[in-house]
Structure 1
Amino acid sequence: MTNLPSMTPITSLWMHELMEEKTVLNELLEKYGSPINIHQVDPMEINFTSYRNVFEEFELKHKIFFARKANKTKGAVQKAHSLGMGIDTASLREYTQCLEMGIEASDLIVTAAVKNRKLIEKAVHHGSLLILDNEDECDLVQTVAEEQNKKAAIGFRISGFFLNEKKLYSRFGFDLLEIDDFITKNFIESSRYTLLDYKGLHFHINGYSIEERRFALAQCLAFSQLLSKKGLKTEFIDIGGGILMNYLKNESDWDYFNQQLRKSVGKKTSEITYENQGLGLETMGGIMHGELKTYPFWSPVTKGDFLREILSHKPHSSDSLGEIAKKLQLEIRMEPGRSMLDQVGLTVARVAFRKVDSKGNRLVGLEMNMTQMLSGSADFLVDPFVLYQKEEAEEDAVEVYFTGAYCLERDILLKRKIALPKLPQVDDLVVFVNTAGYMMHFFESSAHLFPLATNLIWNRTTENGKINSAHFQNDENL
Structure 2
Amino acid sequence: MPPLMHGTAPLTARLEPWMERLLTDPGLCQELIEEHGSPLNLHDFSAMSRNIGELRQTAEEHGTDFQIYLARKANKTIGAIDQAAAEGCGVDVASFRELDQCLKRGVPADRLIVTAAVKSSELLTLAVDNDVVLSLDNVDEALDLLDIAAESGRRVRVALRLASTNPKIAPTRFGLRAEQWLDFLESADRTTGLEVCGIHFHLNGYSAQQRALVLAESLRLIDALRDLGHAPEFVDMGGGIPMSYLDDAAQWTGFWEDLAALPAGDESLTWKSDRLGANGTEPSGSVYPYHQKLIRGEWLKQILASDSEGAGESVAQMLKERGIQLRCEPGRTLLDGCGMTLAEVAFVKTRSDGLPLVGLHMNRTQCRSTSADFLVDPLLLQTGTPRSERVALSAFLVGAYCIEEELILRRRFEFPQGVAAGDLVAFPNTGGYLMHIIESGSHQLPLARNLCWDAGEWAQDSVDKQSIEMELA
The yes-or-no answer on 1:151 pairing with 2:155 is: yes
Cα distance in 1 for partners of 2:423, 2:168 equals 52
Aligned to 1:201: 199
Aligned pairs (5 A) from 1:271-310: 271-281=268-278, 291-310=284-303
Partner of residue 242, structure 1: 240
Give percent identity, aligned residues only. 37
Deviation at 1:226, TM superposition (A): 2.5
Once residues 291 and 383 of structure 1 are traced to their aligned partners in structure 2, the CA distance between those partners, rounded to angstroms, is: 18
> Is 1:455 matched with 2:456?
no
Aligned to 2:98: 94
Alignment of 1:15-34 (within 5 A): 15-34=19-38
Where do 1:372-451 residues align within 5 Å? 372-389=366-383, 397-451=392-446
SS in 1 for 2:349: strand
User: Counterpart of 2:175?
Assistant: 173
Post-superposition shift, 1:358?
2.5
Is residue 279–residue 293 contact of structure 1 (8 Å, CA) maintained in 2? Answer: yes
Deviations 1:338-377 (A, max 9, x none): 0000000000000000111133321100000011111011
Aligned-partner Cα distance in 2 for 1:3–1:41: 27
Q: Deviations over 1:71-117 (max 9, x none)?
A: 00000110000100001000000000111111111211111111111
**CA distance in 1 between partners of 2:278 and 2:76 (Å):** 32
> Contact 1:141 / 1:196 at 8 angstroms: preserved in 2?
no
CA distance in 1, matches of 2:106, 2:7: 53
Aligned to 1:468: none
What are the Cα deviations for residues 272-331 of structure 1, in whole angstroms up to 9, with x where unaligned? 11111111136xxxx899944100000010011111111110122222101110111001
| 1:337-348 mapped onto 2 (5 Å cutoff) | 337-348=331-342
Aligned amino acid, residue 41 of structure 1: F
**1:12 aligned partner:** 16
SS in 2 for 1:339: coil
In the alignment, which residue of structure 1 is the partner of 2:258? 260
Give a deviation string over 1:366-409, Cα, whole Å, max 9, x none: 00001111101100000000001269999654221111100111
Other-structure match for 1:313: 306
Query: What corresponds to 1:467 in structure 2?
Result: none
Q: Distance in 2 between matches of 1:337 and 1:161?
A: 26
1:140 paired with 2:144, answer yes
Encode CA deviations 1:33-66: one digit per residue, 9 max, x unaligned.
1010000011110011111111111122121100
Q: Could you say if the C-alpha distance between residues 53 and 288 of structure 1 is closer, same or farther in structure 2, counting changes exceeding 3 Å? A: closer
TM-score using structure 1 length: 0.91
Q: Report the counterpart of residue 129 of structure 1 in structure 2.
A: 133
Partner of 1:466: none
In 2, Cα distance between equivalents of 1:48 and 1:147: 40
Report how far residue 141 of structure 1 moved: 0.9
Whole-Å separation in 1 of the counterparts to 2:160 and 2:10: 44
Deviates further, 173-182 or 89-98: 173-182
Q: Report the CA distance between 1:267 and its aligned residue.
A: 3.5
Partner of 1:62: 66
Q: In structure 2, what is the equivalent of residue 465 of structure 1?
A: none
Q: Who is 1:464 aligned against?
A: none
How many angstroms does 1:422 deviate by? 2.3
Q: Go from structure 1 to structure 2 and tell me whether the alpha carbon gap of 1:89 and 1:390 turns closer, same or farther (over 3 Å shift).
A: closer
* 3-state SS of 2:103 partner: helix
Could you say if the C-alpha distance between residues 34 and 291 of structure 1 is closer, same or farther in structure 2, counting changes exceeding 3 Å?
closer
Q: CA 1:260–1:3 in 2, change beyond 3 Å: closer, same or farther?
A: farther
Q: Is the 8 A contact 1:159 1:168 kept in 2?
A: no
Q: 1:39 aligns with which of 43, 62, 74?
A: 43
- Could you tell me the TM-score, scaled by structure 2's length? 0.92
Does the CA-based 8 Å contact 1:160-1:177 persist in structure 2?
no
Structure 1 pair 158/179, CA: closer, same or farther in 2 (3 Å)? same
Q: What is the DSSP-based 3-state SS (H/G/I as helix, E as strand, rest coil) of the residue aligned with 2:162?
A: strand
Query: Structure 1: 5+ residue runs without aligned partners?
Result: 462-470
Q: After alignment, is 302-311 or 363-372 more displaced?
A: 302-311
Cα distance in 2 for partners of 1:230, 1:98 equals 34
Residue matched to 2:470: none
CA distance in 1, matches of 2:284, 2:113: 35
Which secondary structure does the structure 1 equivalent of 2:334 belong to?
helix
TM-fit CA distance, 1:228: 2.3
Distance, in Å, in 2 between the alignment partners of 1:453 and 1:256 is: 34
Q: Using a 3 Å threshold, how does the CA distance of structure 1 residues 255 and 453 change in structure 2: closer, same or farther?
A: same
Distance 1:299 1:428, change over 3 A: same
Asked whether the 8 Å contact 1:157–1:203 carries over to 2, the reply is yes
Match of 2:184 among 179, 182, 185: 182
- 1:395 and 1:108 map into 2 onto residues whose CA distance is 53
Root mean square deviation, CA, Å: 2.2
Inter-partner Cα distance in structure 1 for 2:247 and 2:283: 27
In the superposition, relative to structure 1, how do residues 355 and 80 fare at CA in structure 2: closer, same or farther (>3 Å)?
A: same
Q: Secondary structure at 2:425's aligned position in 1?
A: strand
- After superposition, the Cα gap between the structure-2 partners of 1:33 and 1:290, relative to the gap in structure 1 and judged at 3 Å, is closer
Counterpart position of 1:112 = 116
CA distance in 1, matches of 2:277, 2:173: 22
Amino acid at match of 1:105: A
**Counterpart Cα distance in 1 of 2:92 and 2:339:** 20
Match of 1:407, SS state, is coil
Asked if structure 2 preserves the Cα contact closer than 8 Å seen for 1:161 and 1:215, the reply is no
* CA drift at 1:185: 2.5
Rounded Cα–Cα distance in structure 1 between residues aligned with 2:461 and 2:101: 13
Cα deviation digits, residues 106-133 of structure 1 (max 9, x gap): 2111111111111111110110000000
